[in-house]
Structure formats: C-alpha cells, structure tokens
Amino acid sequence: MAELVFFSGTMDCGKSTLALQMHHNHAARGRDGLLFTRQDRAGKAVISSRLGLTQGAREVEDSTDFWTDVITRRMQGHPVDYLIGDEAQFYAPAQVEQLARVVDELSVDVFAFGISTDFRARLFPGAARLVELADRVEVLQVMALCWCGARATHNARTVGGTMVVEGEQVVVGDVDSVADQLGYEVLCRRHHMRRMTATAARAASPSVQTLDFETG
C-alpha cells in the first residue's frame, strides 16, 4: 500500500544522502521514480549531498502540480512508482496536498525529505502540512551535533558567526559559513535559545572547547 513518508531532521544530518540512496535502491529493483527538489544549495534542478553525491532532479516551482505531472507522464506511457522530494520544507501546502492525493488515488509512494523548522524554530508551511498529512514522520537517526557536543535539534542563521533571528524565512545557504557572510549552524535547543553559536562561545570564553567538523 502506497505511503506518504516525511523524513525530517536538522541541516547536516544526511537527508539528501538518504534521498539519493533511496532512489538508487528503488531503481535497482526495477521501479520507476521521479526526483524533485527546490532551492538546493548547489543550484537549480539538482539534489546534492555534503558527501559529494549529486543527481539531476526536477525543480519544484510555484506552478508545479505533482498530480498533473504524474498523470501526464502516465498518459505518455511512462510508469511512475514513486516520487522522491528533497527540500520539501520549501513546497507550498497545496503541493503537499497534491502529493497526498498522488499516494491515495494513484498508489504512488512519496518520500519527502526536509527540515521542519526555520532559523527562528518555527515550522515551515510545507513541513507543517507534511506533519499533518504524512502516513509516517521519520526523524533521521544520523545525529548532527551542536558545537558543545550535544545533539543538534535546531537550525540557526548566522552572519559572521553571530546568530540572527530576523529576516526572510527562506534564504538559501549552507552550514559552511564564511566570515561576514550569511550561513547556517546547527545547535542544541539550549544554545539556540541563548543564541550561542560556536563563534559566540569562543568569544565569551576562549577556553571553551568547541567541536570542529568538516562537512562534505
């Protein structure tokens, strides 16, 4: 029986890697699927992993209609057994509803990958609708870590290492922040609430030990 599954986690926890692995596994068993993404950090119409994996995908636009895309493809004689949607937090709630309809009425599996909350710890509209409609919500088990070593549960937006809490909800960036440029950092709840980034912790106490991670 087809399912709508939402795989969620913070930045840097391997969502895109898992999305590409899942696509490989299903395709290897002879299933036909479509890959979608929106505003990937590597550019348009691509799913990229920090481990260096990349795969071409269909870019989700405001005008994208998943129901129409699947129906059109099938009418052209092309099977569609599953959809994989990366960066699903950026999808419109109406598009998430289209995905649910694809599952229920066309028996197509839908695997959506994305983060749940923004830099202010507020749900993205697309992620909120996925939580409301998904058959299952899976929290990824690969732990991203805060600078203190605790499990990272929140995404922080930074400018020159300083956490900011105002601005547009969607600004594409990565966890590899460069001095004086906008970037993102994953934090535990305690340090997100305190707005304590790794840079801020070092400035407050030079003796504080922070974990250095090289992202791929």
Active site residues: 87
φ/ψ of residue 168, rounded to 5: -60, 145
Specify whether the CB–CB gap between 90 and 38 falls below 8 A. Answer: yes
The pairs formed by 115-119 with CB atoms below 8 angstroms and a separation of 24 or more are 115/8, 115/9, 115/10, 115/11, 115/15, 115/89, 115/155, 116/8, 116/89, 117/154, 117/155, 118/155, 118/169, 118/170, 119/155, 119/156, 119/157, 119/164, 119/165, 119/167, 119/184
**Among 135, 129, 150, which Cα is nearest to 193's?**
150
> CB-side exposure of 28: number of CA atoms within 13 Å?
6
**H/E element holding 71?**
helix 66-75
**Would you call 16 exposed, middle or buried from its count of C-beta atoms within 10 A (0-12, 13-18, 19+)?**
buried
